[in-house]
Amino acid sequence: MAIRKKSTKSPPVLSHEFILQNHADIVSCVAMVFLLGLMFEITAKASIIFVTLQYNVTLPATEEQATESASLYYYGIKDLATVFFYMLVAIIIHAIIQEYVLDKINRRMHFSKTKHSKFNESGQLSAFYLFSCIWGTFILISENYISDPTILWRAYPHNLMTFQMKFFYIAQLAYWFHAFPELYFQKTKKEDIPRQLVYIGLYLFHIAGAYLLNLNHLGLVLLVLHYFVEFLFHISRLFYFSDEKYQKGFSLWAVLFVLGRLLTLILSVLTVGFGLARAENQKLDFSAGNFNVLAVRIAVLASICITQAFMMWKFINFQLRRWREHSTFQAPAVKKKPTVTKGRSSRKGTENGVNGTVTSNGADSPRNRKEKSS
């Protein structure tokens, strides 16, 4: 991201600079159109598709829950409209955090362009990761994932989700889709765009895969685990920008990163390789949302393992570069001392020198030349 320069002249309407400076206001107006549509009966049916979650099913009360009936959700094509609306909300929240929090800190700290860009990136992602970790942990606790890990594969397919579960996935997809227009809004450098596209694409691929394959239980656990480690990295980088001597956070992150990759592989193999492989129903059924077949299980495990290997490769390169820079910084500077020649000739030359210049013969001094001329 480049540093925004505020000019006194307002740019022409709908010009490039106008859109960049006022994109949050423009997106807010678009979002307000959908909200205002809920107020009128003619447009309410169309607007409600964008604003609220779709495909809900009300299950009758059972003996365990005799007082309340459960309202569950499944996914469908209309979820794209909901993702689009909350993508607009993510753009608005992104602009609020940028303008009222990060820009004020940047003005005080006077970062360089490189640090300014990385600080904004870490500031935005740390806020998102923290919020997602808290939200995801709340879902894990409320649905007893921690006390009963077999829920990750038991009773598959998990095609019915609670409101919190489905809204969590909609919010995740909306946030990572909003990252595409942010590359334009934040004036991302051309050399950074490929890295960002790979970064965003990997998130969307795995989140959408867990959502569409009804592996939402496993996906939620892995996301919370991954987001916690990433939050620690970005919050450590924020502290590092304020004080470059701060390195403890990176050391803790390095340990948790390796443990996080190990836990991700263990949970994935345990759920897909053992839990789903021993399930009774192993037939491909699109109507029931059952994808528990050998080819799908191999594809899921392969994608997870390749992604973890890619992340470890990037992590090792990062650590090697960091250690190399640290060793270069710690290397003491060698000071060269002037060499002093000892001997009779040096002392004699010093005695015969005039204003630091050594003469070829002592008899050629000014006093001797004066005596000769007389």
Question: What is the predicted pLDDT for the residue at 293?
Answer: 93
What's the rounded Cα separation, in Å, for the pair 122 and 253? 14
User: Which residue matches tokens 């022409």?
Assistant: 12
Structure tokens at 286: 């699109």
**Which residue has better confidence, 169 or 367?**
169
C-alpha distances in Å from residue 16, one per residue of 6, 13, 180, 316: 14, 9, 17, 40
Q: Are 50 and 174 in contact (CB under 8 A)?
A: no
Q: Among candidates 156, 104, 166, which has minimal Cα distance to 135? A: 166
- Match 């820079």 to its residue by tokens: 325
Q: What is the pTM of this model?
A: 0.83
Q: What percent of the chain has pLDDT over 70?
A: 83
pLDDT at 64: 53
Highest mean pLDDT among 61-70, 312-321, 352-361: 312-321
* 140-176: pLDDT as tens digits: 999 888 888 888 998 898 999 999 999 999 999 999 9
Average pLDDT, the chain: 85
**Interstrand relation of 56-59 and 70-73 (parallel, antiparallel or unpaired):** antiparallel
The most distant pair of C-alpha atoms in the chain lies apart, rounded to whole Å, by 135
Residue 355 has a pLDDT of 40
Half-sphere exposure of 150 (CA within 13 A, CB side): 4
Indicate whether 329 pLDDT > 90.
no
Q: Token match 């204003």: residue?
A: 355
Asked if the bond preceding 60 is cis, omega within 30° of 0, the reply is: no
Altogether, the residues listed in the chain come to a count of: 374
pLDDT at residue 7 tops 70: no
Q: Which two tokens stand for residue 280?
A: 């009774």
pLDDT tier for residue 100 given thresholds of 50, 70 and 90 = very high
Q: Which amino acid is at 3?
A: I
| Buried residues in 164-181 as b, exposed as e (16+ CB within 10 A) | ebbbbbbbbbbbbbbbeb
pLDDT of residue 337 exceeding 80: no
Q: Return the bridge partners of 72, or none.
A: 57
d(CA 103, CA 9): 21
Residue with tokens 């000019």: 7
> Among candidates 208, 217, 214, which has minimal Cα distance to 80?
208
HEC-encoded secondary structure of the chain = CCCCCCCCCCCCCCCHHHHHHHHHHHHHHHHHHHHHHCCCHHHHHHHHHHHCCCCEEEECCCCCCCCCCEEEECCCCCHHHHHHHHHHHHHHHHHHHHHHHHHHHHHHHCCCHHHHHHHHHHHHHHHHHHHHHHHHHHHHHHCCCCCCHHHHCCCCCCCCECHHHHHHHHHHHHHHHHHHHHHHHCCCCHHHHHHHHHHHHHHHHHHHHHHHCCCHHHHHHHHHHHHHHHHHHHHHHHHHHHCCCCCHHHHHHHHHHHHHHHHHHHHHHHHHHHHCCCCCCCCCECCCCECCCHHHHHHHHHHHHHHHHHHHHHHHHHHHHHHHHHHHHHCCCCCCCCCCCCCHHHHHHHHCEECCEECCCHHHCHHHHHHHHC
- Per-residue model confidence (pLDDT) at position 115: 85
pLDDT of 268-302, one tens digit each?
999 999 999 988 888 899 988 999 999 999 999 99
Note whether 75 and 8 are within 8 A (CB).
no
